């Protein structure tokens, strides 16, 4: 028995060693993989989550004598493919000057640009250029610039409204994903602050 | 025979145990010293801008957290008021990338209002930072034997003092730091939606000094320029293009990376743009960050896709040149650019920068002469040194592993001590050391944040 003791010890150590190697390797693989978080895959939300608003609010007459708004969108998890703004204003107090797509809507296809100067209504729509494989309109950012000129600088106020009839279409959603809009107030006097950027 | 064998019998157990111990140690912890040597000869970092908190941004930050970076740069437009805005968004992003990764920020146009709040949520973790963190500052990485000087500036928002900027570049060169990277939010030349908002004087300075990389966001897309020696706005000047491939020579010019594809909606790029000739790659359908790996002789960049399209882009800059002669300032730059009344300016680190009006062209022979004396205040603290961060990172790393093999590691530690005792009893001298005991998985991960101070190092900004 005494003679065999070294051999028994040797075999036992080898068995333990093999166990350590196998277990250690397995454990090592697990631990190497553990901290790596899988890249999430997201499906665009079909729940309407998109908002439209105007900035700044309130707005004063800028140094160029104009009323200039930035139109903003926040799509949250919607991936929009088109935006149609329906804007109303008081034609007795404001005169429409221009509307143009910027940032998220820049270099995309304008499918409607209709100005009703009598009733104070603007219909302006932009979509991903058909067949262009443009990325979706998403995130929180500027989409347009809207400029008016005041008819009078009498210190009164008026409102420019993004109407609920505005439409934002998103991939995978039949109806508009627009859920909220916010109007902006125009103060018909020159501002001491710079708001024409 | 048996007597002869018995003579060695007492050594058998310790011998095989030692062999097994080292085999298991290498499997569990890697070959000792090799990893440390690699980490000191290269550094990796990432950059992104214009993130928000959408699923695209989540995907980008998940990719960042998996990229094994030494530090990360965010070139502005952080939250777009999502996830609680300036006060809430930092916690959201740390929930994805963790609290160990140094996450260095500079203000974007959407952050200028509230950069101080962001700075509180994402404080500086670089020990040797100089300037005003979040606005205009620089740091070297690693702290000793630095491979790269990262200069972060906010032209158009908090305009940097041009002499300070010039000096920061020059002292990097004169100190022998191989790579100079300058990050900012806004653009100058771009094929996207933006215009030259940083001012051509800033761009001209950086190009004339041949900084290796300019990092920008603002335009929500990915654009990599060719290697440029100069640039004129609203046109492409072919003579400014030094190298139009993806393999550049160090010191020959500058590569501009615009990576505003951090998660907020993407802007279109235009291959027909008047400045498109400056660019090698433009893309507007893929979200991702740019990963850089630097060694003493090579800087490589790679776009890491996270969501959207399938953009793949990479480039390398190789060589040992150190750019232009320190002290060089190009023509047309007013030393007090953007610093009206000293507001939002970073004072020059040195009392004066020697500007030689006659020396207005880039020297073809890089000089290693000492630049006008910029006193370097290392601003080190025991709690936020890079060495400490390395230690913390190691602990964090081990902590993760310890979750899976706490028992095994404790057993190995016990074996280690046992073997040491045995070897000592046998009269064999052993090096002093301790087996790395795993951190209990229930303990909180060590914080590397130097308190809650927005600027842990004394600010030079008034």
User: Nearest by CB to B265, which of A28, A34, A138?
Assistant: A138
Question: Are residues A26 and A54 both part of a single domain?
Answer: no
- The parent domain of residue A19 ranges over 1-35
Position A13 in a domain: yes
User: Nearest by CB to A36, which of B23, B56, B66?
Assistant: B66
Question: Are residues A63 and A117 both part of a single domain?
Answer: yes
- Residue to mutate among A21, A103, A182, with most B CBs inside 10 A, is A103
Q: What is the DSSP string of chain A?
A: -TTTHHHHHHHHHHHHHHHHHHHHHHHHHHHHHTT-PPPP--PPP-S--EEEEEESSSEEE-TTS-EEEEEEEE-TT--EEEEEEEEE--TTTEEEEEEEE-GGGTTSEEEEEEEETTTTEEEEEEEPPTTS-PPPB-SEEEEEEEEEEES--SS-EEEEEE-TT-EEEETT-SS--EEEEE-EEEEEEE-SS----
Residues of A within 8 A of B82 (CB-CB) are: 140
- Of A36-40, A161-165, B23-27, the poorest mean pLDDT is in A36-40
B82/A contact by beta carbon, under 8 A: yes
Residue B138 in 3-state DSSP? strand
Burial classification of residue B238, based on how many CB atoms lie within 10 Å of its CB (0-12 exposed, 13-18 middle, 19 or more buried)? exposed
Residues of B within 8 A of A36 (CB-CB) are: 66
Query: Which of B195, B149, B332, B321 has the alpha carbon at shortest distance from B250?
Result: B321
CA distance A127 to A125: 7
Residue A118 has pLDDT above 60, yes or no: yes
A136/B contact by beta carbon, under 8 A: yes
Query: CB distance A9–B13 less than 8 Å?
Result: yes
Q: Which of residues 419-438 of B touch A (CB under 8 A)?
A: none
CA distance A71 to A141: 9
Position A17 in a domain: yes
CA distance B92 to B97: 9
What share of chain A in percent tops pLDDT 70? 80
User: Nearest by CB to B16, which of A13, A74, A139?
Assistant: A13
Nearest CA in chain A to B304: A39
Looking at mean pLDDT, say which of A94-98, B384-388, B409-413 comes out highest.
A94-98
Chain A with chain B: Cβ pairs closer than 8 A: 123
- Of B181-190, B226-235, B420-429, B446-455, the poorest mean pLDDT is in B446-455
Q: Please name the residues in contact with A139: beta carbons below 8 A apart, sequence gap of 6 or more.
A: A74, A75, A104, B52, B54, B56, B80, B220, B263, B264, B265
Question: Are residues A96 and A144 both part of a single domain?
Answer: yes
Question: Are residues A30 and A122 both part of a single domain?
Answer: no
Alpha carbon distances (Å) from B414 to A24, B399, B409, B417, B425: 16, 18, 9, 5, 17
A91/B contact by beta carbon, under 8 A: no
Residue A27 has pLDDT above 80, yes or no: no
Residue B372 has pLDDT above 90, yes or no: no
Whole-number pLDDT of residue B407: 53
B145/A contact by beta carbon, under 8 A: no
A1/B contact by beta carbon, under 8 A: no
Q: What is the separation of C-alpha A30 from the centre of its chain, rounded to a whole number of angstroms?
A: 38
Pick the more confident residue, B136 or B387: B136
CA distance A83 to A162: 12
Whole-number pLDDT of residue A5: 72
- Residue to mutate among A14, A24, A72, A182, with most B CBs inside 10 A, is A24
Per-residue b or e along B139-165, where b marks 16 or more CB atoms closer than 10 Å to that residue's CB: bbbbbeebbbbbbbbbbbbbbbbbbbb
Whether residue B142 contacts residue B378, with contact meaning beta carbons closer than 8 Å, is answered with: no
Question: Are residues A75 and A115 both part of a single domain?
Answer: yes
Phi-psi region of A121 (alpha: psi -120 to 50; beta: other; left: phi over 0): beta
What share of chain A in percent tops pLDDT 90? 64
CA distance B399 to B442: 9
Mean pLDDT of B334-347: 34
Residue B397 has pLDDT above 60, yes or no: no
Question: Are residues A55 and A24 both part of a single domain?
Answer: no
Question: Are residues A153 and A186 both part of a single domain?
Answer: yes
Question: Are residues A81 and A8 both part of a single domain?
Answer: no
Whole-number pLDDT of residue B87: 97
Nearest CA in chain A to B1: A3
Q: What is the separation of C-alpha B109 from the centre of its chain, rounded to a whole number of angstroms?
A: 22
A42/B contact by beta carbon, under 8 A: yes
Residue B277 has pLDDT above 90, yes or no: yes
Residues of A within 8 A of B220 (CB-CB) are: 103-104, 139, 141
Position A43 in a domain: no
A35/B contact by beta carbon, under 8 A: yes
Nearest CA in chain A to B287: A135
Q: How confident is the model at residue A10 (pLDDT cuts 50, 70, 90)?
A: confident
Residues of B within 8 A of A110 (CB-CB) are: none
Whole-number pLDDT of residue B111: 97
Position A73 in a domain: yes
B306/A contact by beta carbon, under 8 A: yes
Residues of B within 8 A of A37 (CB-CB) are: 62, 65-66
Residues of A within 8 A of B52 (CB-CB) are: 139-140
Position A116 in a domain: yes
Q: Which domains does chain B have, with CATH numbers?
A: 1-32+383-462 (no CATH), 42-342 (3.60.21.10)
Position A55 in a domain: yes
Q: Please give the tally of structural domains in chain A.
A: 2
Mean pLDDT (chain B) is 76
Mean pLDDT of B205-215: 98
Question: Are residues A121 and A157 both part of a single domain?
Answer: yes
Residue B224 has pLDDT above 60, yes or no: yes
Mean pLDDT of A128-136: 85
Give the pTM.
0.69
Question: Are residues A11 and A96 both part of a single domain?
Answer: no
Check which CATH number belongs to the domain holding A71 and give it. Answer: 2.60.40.680
Q: What is the separation of C-alpha B298 from the centre of its chain, rounded to a whole number of angstroms?
A: 15
Question: Are residues A55 and A27 both part of a single domain?
Answer: no
Whether residue B304 contacts residue B46, with contact meaning beta carbons closer than 8 Å, is answered with: yes
- Of A44-58, A81-95, B127-141, B295-309, the poorest mean pLDDT is in A44-58
- Of A179-183, B202-206, B319-323, the poorest mean pLDDT is in B319-323
Whole-number pLDDT of residue A17: 67
Position A174 in a domain: yes
Q: How far is A141 from chain B (nearest CA, A)?
A: 7
Question: Are residues A26 and A109 both part of a single domain?
Answer: no
Position A27 in a domain: yes
Per-residue model confidence as pLDDT tens digits over B66-100: 999 999 999 999 999 999 999 999 999 999 999 99
Residue A45 has pLDDT above 90, yes or no: no
Q: How confident is the model at residue B198 (pLDDT cuts 50, 70, 90)?
A: very high
Pick the more confident residue, B20 or B150: B150
Pick the more confident residue, A114 or B444: A114
Pick the more confident residue, B214 or B402: B214
Per-residue model confidence as pLDDT tens digits over A149-177: 999 999 999 999 999 999 999 988 889 99
- DSSP tag of B310: -
Residue B402 has pLDDT above 70, yes or no: no
């Amino acid at each position: 028995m005494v003679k065999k003791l070294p051999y028994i010890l040797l075999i036992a150590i080898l068995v333990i060693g093999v166990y350590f190697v196998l277990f250690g390797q397995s454990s090592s693989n697990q631990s190497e993989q553990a901290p790596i978080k899988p890249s999430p895959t997201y499906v665009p939300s079909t729940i309407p989550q998109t908002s439209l608003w105007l900035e700044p609010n309130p707005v004063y007459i800028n140094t160029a004598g104009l009323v200039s708004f930035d139109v903003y969108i926040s799509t949250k998890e919607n991936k929009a493919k088109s935006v149609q703004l329906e804007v109303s204003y008081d034609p007795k107090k404001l005169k429409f000057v221009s509307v143009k797509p910027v940032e998220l809507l820049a270099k995309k296809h304008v499918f409607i640009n209709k100005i009703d100067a009598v009733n104070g209504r603007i219909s302006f729509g932009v979509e991903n250029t058909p067949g262009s494989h443009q990325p979706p309109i998403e995130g929180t950012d500027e989409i347009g610039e809207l400029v008016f000129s005041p008819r009078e600088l009498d210190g009164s106020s008026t409102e420019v409204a993004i109407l609920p009839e505005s439409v934002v279409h998103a991939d995978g959603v039949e109806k508009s994903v627009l859920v909220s809009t916010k109007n902006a107030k125009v103060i018909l006097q020159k501002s001491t602050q710079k708001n024409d950027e | 025979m048996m007597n002869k064998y018995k003579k060695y019998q007492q050594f058998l157990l310790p011998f095989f145990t030692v062999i097994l111990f080292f085999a298991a140690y290498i499997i569990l912890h890697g070959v000792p010293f090799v990893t440390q040597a690699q980490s000191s000869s290269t550094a990796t970092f990432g950059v992104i801008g214009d993130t928000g908190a959408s699923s695209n941004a989540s995907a980008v930050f998940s990719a960042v957290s998996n990229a094994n970076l030494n530090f990360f740069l965010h070139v502005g437009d952080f939250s777009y008021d999502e996830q609680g805005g300036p006060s809430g968004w930092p916690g959201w992003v740390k929930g994805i990338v963790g609290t160990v990764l140094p996450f260095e920020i500079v203000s974007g146009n959407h952050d200028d209002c509230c950069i101080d709040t962001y700075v509180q949520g994402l404080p500086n973790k670089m020990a040797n930072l100089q300037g005003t963190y979040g606005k205009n500052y620089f740091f070297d990485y690693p702290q000793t034997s630095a491979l790269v000087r990262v200069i972060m500036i906010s032209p158009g928002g908090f305009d940097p003092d041009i002499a300070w900027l010039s000096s920061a570049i020059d002292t990097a060169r004169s100190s022998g730091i191989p790579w100079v990277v300058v990050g900012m939010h806004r653009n100058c030349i771009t094929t996207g939606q933006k215009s030259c908002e940083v001012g051509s004087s800033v761009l001209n300075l950086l190009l004339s000094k041949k900084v290796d990389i300019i990092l920008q966001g603002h335009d929500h897309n990915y654009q990599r320029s060719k290697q440029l020696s100069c640039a004129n706005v609203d046109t492409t000047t072919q003579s400014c293009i030094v190298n139009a491939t993806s393999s550049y020579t160090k010191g020959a010019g500058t590569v501009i990376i615009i990576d505003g594809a951090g998660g907020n909606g993407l802007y279109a790029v235009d291959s027909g743009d008047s400045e498109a000739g400056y660019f090698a790659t433009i893309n507007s359908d893929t979200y991702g960050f740019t990963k850089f790996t630097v060694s003493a002789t090579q800087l490589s960049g790679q776009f890491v896709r996270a969501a959207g399209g399938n953009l793949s882009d990479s480039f390398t800059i190789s060589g040992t040149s150190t750019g232009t002669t320190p002290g060089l300032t190009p023509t047309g730059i007013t030393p007090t650019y953007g610093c009206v009344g000293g507001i939002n300016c970073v004072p020059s680190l040195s009392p004066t920068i020697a500007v030689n009006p006659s020396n207005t062209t880039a020297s073809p022979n890089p000089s290693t002469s000492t630049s006008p004396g910029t006193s370097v205040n290392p601003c080190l603290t025991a709690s936020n040194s890079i060495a400490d961060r390395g230690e913390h990172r190691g602990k964090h790393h081990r902590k993760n592993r310890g979750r899976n093999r706490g028992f095994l590691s404790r057993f190995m530690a016990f074996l280690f001590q046992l073997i040491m005792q045995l070897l000592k009893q046998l009269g064999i001298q052993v090096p002093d050391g301790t087996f790395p005991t795993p951190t209990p998985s229930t303990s909180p991960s060590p914080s590397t944040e130097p308190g809650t101070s927005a600027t842990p190092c004394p600010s030079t900004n008034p």
